[in-house]
């Protein structure tokens, strides 16, 4: 079985994904790069692993009122179970019903205490909203500051969750959070087990993030904490808008990277640009979501600045790679200061940390370039 260390070593640079935005980049990062077994690995799952899965699920069927219906296939990788993982699956004492992002009613306990978060976005929101003791596991990327804004606080949670339904259920979750970009087969297995699986589906910008925070607060019985997070997010965006109001210019900006994707309307990037008083050229050109653009389009649009992302220490290398692209060089007049490099997580976050991303972009654009 592939080790966690080897999976980390195989991860490409975030810069190769963040131009595609959220959820495209998160889908690549969370489900393909880090947790999803490759076809040859899936084929290599041994008969003994399958027997272990059947045994585990059989015990859970007897011990739980969920009535587990999972198949016998055990996928490589997944959750690092906490010390309590060997106990039978917990009984769900549903006390209320909530509606998830896909419109499905979900029966959840009055006060969930063994929550599993399968995405970085829900990691970031939950760790700002509830006590870490209520989390049985966070995602395998929660510890990685390239992608996560909650790496320090994630250390307070013992379990790590990947894409293995067997090991997720070993954690005895009473509530599981996934997203529309989570692996479909994983979500199907968890849902078929009867476990309460809450799915988030909208990530198109600031308003979706606020709605998701409120919905998550309702699901974990912390509506006041959710309201506080939303209020802080709104306060920080209002402060950004106030600073932008006093600037003399509105720079024309666009996101761009090695994959040649740019972000238009209904994206978090568009909200970031509008928050700092800029003009998102892709949105201006009628692009909705994320789209690859041609060299001719880039040259024709002539952005004041190109926004891209890089890992810490790789900023100069990423900037030079873009300058080596003739279409980029022509579009920005071969001026390296017109390529603004931000940290990778700033272009993928879909949590309250969008405020951190906006402040980070504002600092990089207006302070590092010396523009008003």
Q: What is the pLDDT of residues 105-115, one digit of tens each?
A: 999 999 999 99
Determine, yes or no, domain membership for 271: yes
Look at the pTM and tell me if it is higher than 0.95.
no
Q: What is the pLDDT of residues 298-309, one digit of tens each?
A: 999 999 999 999
CATH of the domain at 266: 3.40.50.1980
Determine, yes or no, domain membership for 77: yes
Whether residues 261 and 114 fall in one domain: no
Is the CB of residue 171 less than 8 Å from the CB of residue 82? yes
Residue 26: pLDDT band with limits 50, 70, 90: low
Whether residues 134 and 261 fall in one domain: no
Whether residues 45 and 108 fall in one domain: yes
pLDDT value at residue 226: 99
Q: What is the pLDDT of residues 49-63, one digit of tens each?
A: 444 444 444 444 443
Whether residues 33 and 172 fall in one domain: yes
Residue matched to tokens 């997944």: 78
Determine, yes or no, domain membership for 27: yes
**Three-state DSSP class for residue 164:** coil
Whether residues 186 and 318 fall in one domain: no
Q: What value, to the nearest 5°, has the Cα angle with vertex 27 and ends 25 and 33?
A: 90
pLDDT value at residue 333: 94
Whether residues 294 and 184 fall in one domain: no
Q: What is the pLDDT of residues 308-324, one digit of tens each?
A: 999 989 999 999 999 99
pLDDT value at residue 94: 52
Whether residues 42 and 170 fall in one domain: yes
Determine, yes or no, domain membership for 5: no
Determine, yes or no, domain membership for 239: no
Helices (H), the chain: 4-9, 15-18, 24-26, 39-43, 47-63, 120-129, 151-154, 165-170, 184-192, 206-219, 223-245, 268-275, 281-284, 295-301, 315-323, 326-331, 354-362
Determine, yes or no, domain membership for 217: no
Q: What is the mean pLDDT of residues 33-41?
A: 36
Residue 367: pLDDT band with limits 50, 70, 90: confident
Determine, yes or no, domain membership for 28: yes
**Looking at the 3D structure of the chain, how many domains does it have?**
2
- The structure tokens listed for 59 are 């015990």
> Residue 248 CB: number of other CB atoms within 10 A?
6
**Best CA proximity match to 290, nearest among 213, 205, 200:** 205
Whether residues 166 and 76 fall in one domain: yes
Determine, yes or no, domain membership for 139: yes
pLDDT at 82 over 90: no
Residue ranges making up the domain that contains 340: 247-367
């Amino acid at each position: 079985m592939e080790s966690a260390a080897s999976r980390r070593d195989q991860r490409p640079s975030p810069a190769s994904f963040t131009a595609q935005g959220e959820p495209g980049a998160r889908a690549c990062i969370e489900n393909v790069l880090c947790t999803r077994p490759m076809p040859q690995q899936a084929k290599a799952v041994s008969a003994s692993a399958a027997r272990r899965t059947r045994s585990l699920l059989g015990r859970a069927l007897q011990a739980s009122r969920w009535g587990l219906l999972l198949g016998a296939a055990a996928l490589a990788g997944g959750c690092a179970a906490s010390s309590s993982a060997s106990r039978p699956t917990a009984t769900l004492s549903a006390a209320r019903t909530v509606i998830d992002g896909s419109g499905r009613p979900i029966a959840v306990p009055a006060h969930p205490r063994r929550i599993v978060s399968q995405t970085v976005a829900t990691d970031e929101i939950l760790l700002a909203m509830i006590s870490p003791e209520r989390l049985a596991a966070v995602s395998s990327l929660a510890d990685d500051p390239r992608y996560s804004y909650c790496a320090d606080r994630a250390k307070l949670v013992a379990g790590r969750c990947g894409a293995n339904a067997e090991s997720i259920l070993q954690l005895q979750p009473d509530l599981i959070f996934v997203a529309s970009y989570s692996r479909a087969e994983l979500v199907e297995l968890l849902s078929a087990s009867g476990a309460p699986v809450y799915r988030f589906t909208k990530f198109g910008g600031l308003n979706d993030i606020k709605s998701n925070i409120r919905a998550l607060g309702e699901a974990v019985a912390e509506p006041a904490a959710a309201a506080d997070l939303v209020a802080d997010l709104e306060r920080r965006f209002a402060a950004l808008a106030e600073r932008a109001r006093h600037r003399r210019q509105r720079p024309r900006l666009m996101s761009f990277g090695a994959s040649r994707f740019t972000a238009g309307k209904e994206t978090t990037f568009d909200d970031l640009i509008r928050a700092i008083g800029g003009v998102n050229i892709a949105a201006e050109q009628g692009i909705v979501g994320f789209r690859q653009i041609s060299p001719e389009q880039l040259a024709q649009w002539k952005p004041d600045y190109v926004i891209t992302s890089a890992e810490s220490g790789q900023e100069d290398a990423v900037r030079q790679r873009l300058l080596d692209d003739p279409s980029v060089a022509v579009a920005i007049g071969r001026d390296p200061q017109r390529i603004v490099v931000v940290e990778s997580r700033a272009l993928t976050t879909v949590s309250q940390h969008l405020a951190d991303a906006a402040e980070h972009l504002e600092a990089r654009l207006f302070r590092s370039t010396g523009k008003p």
